[in-house]
Amino acid sequence: MKEKIKVLQLINSMDPGGAENLLASQLPYFNYDELEIYVGYLYGDGSLLKNRRGNYKVIDFSKNTKFTYFAPFRIIRFVLKNKIDIIHTHLIQASIIGRFISFLIPNLICVTTRHYTKASKENRLINRLENNTLKYSDAIICISNYVKFYAKELGIKDEKLYLIYNGIDLSFFTPKEISNSNDKIIIGTIGRLCNQKRIDIVLNSFKVIKSDYPNIELEIIGDGSNKKELSELAHTLDINSSVKFLGRLLPDEVREHLNTWEIFVLASQSEDFGLVLIEAMAMKKAVISTKVDAIPEVVKDGITGYLCPANDYKKIAEKIEWFLKHKGKAIEFGKRGRERVENLFNINSKVKKLEKLYYKLSG
């Protein structure tokens, strides 16, 4: 009987987040007759996987949910004991550690999914180390053409680069008819409360719309360092009574809120993919986003949503108002968005591509 290929998926944490949600959604779709999958994380409590069951095994390499400098040694022991064939790394710390371990252990293959281009603090030593060691991965999965182009600029050879778009498990995304009470209109956004996501632009756009639509509400899902500043801005704009900061939510809670939204808005000033966009499109939401980086690979302007210049709250407000005035068109955009996700961003097809890569590297 052919031995299974043993893969350790190594990631910083398994708490809610873009890369973490992506990995969690992939796990049910692997061919466990041919693959033995382990998921190891460096810190956190693994909340995304706590209530899930599957053929994979979860390993906590933290110490009481905190990162420990002994983690690399624990991972080395685990790899050797379990005869791991491939270490597949995600995010900065896990990727640096994974490459170091693959350098030490003969025949251990290192695959890295590059979930981003530039880190938020590019000049930090750890960011430079991650970029400078990327070439030592045996294969690099790029989540968009935008990320692939950036990897080439870092000097990575084309034969090491594989484009596999992010995907979602469509079985979890069941659009429902909106049934908000008292003619209430809810629009929403999802993202870290940080400078990159420009939630302030969404708030200013909402201020423009609010005077003509008194029953409109804005829900913001996410947490981050700018929470206090953004809450103060909502007060300054006198829209705080209609704005809800919902904090970080689990995926099923996010989907519940998405089902009540009429429009999804993303005002990021940079985005290497935009997983939340395909989640909103899967829920048949008309989307409005910024025309930056990889977003045009996800949203077809004028077909599944509208793309606006970055930092232009007036243009975003204009498109929100257009959808509110043309609700039939908004429904059409939402339907086309769902079709696009089904055709291009279905998690099952992404996992099949990933499996082919594992087989190729192990061959």
Mean pLDDT of successive 10-residue stretches along the chain, which has 363 residues: 90 92 94 97 94 92 96 98 98 96 97 87 80 95 96 95 95 85 88 95 97 95 96 97 94 94 96 94 97 97 97 97 96 97 95 97 91
Number of CB atoms found within 10 A of residue 16's CB? 20
Would you state the pLDDT for residue 224?
93
- Domains located in the chain, CATH noted: 5-167+346-362 (3.40.50.2000), 171-344 (3.40.50.2000)
pTM over 0.75: yes
- Structure confidence at residue 214 (pLDDT): 92
Contact 323, 262 (CB under 8 A): yes
Model pLDDT, residue 132: 92
Q: Please list, in sequence order, all residues whose beta carbon lies within 8 angstroms of the beta carbon of residue 307, skipping any fewer than 6 positions away.
A: 288, 289, 290, 291, 295, 296, 299, 301
- Residue 305: closest CA among 273, 346, 277, 342: 277
**What does the pLDDT read at residue 363?**
82
Helical residues (DSSP H) of the chain, grouped into ranges:
18-26, 71-82, 92-104, 125-133, 145-153, 199-210, 227-236, 251-258, 275-282, 295-298, 313-325, 327-344, 347-362
Distance between CA atoms of 360 and 363, rounded to whole angstroms? 5
Q: Round to whole Å and give the CA distance between 330 and 335.
A: 9
**Backbone phi, psi, residue 177, to 5°:** -70, 135
What's the token pair of residue 291? 């025309």
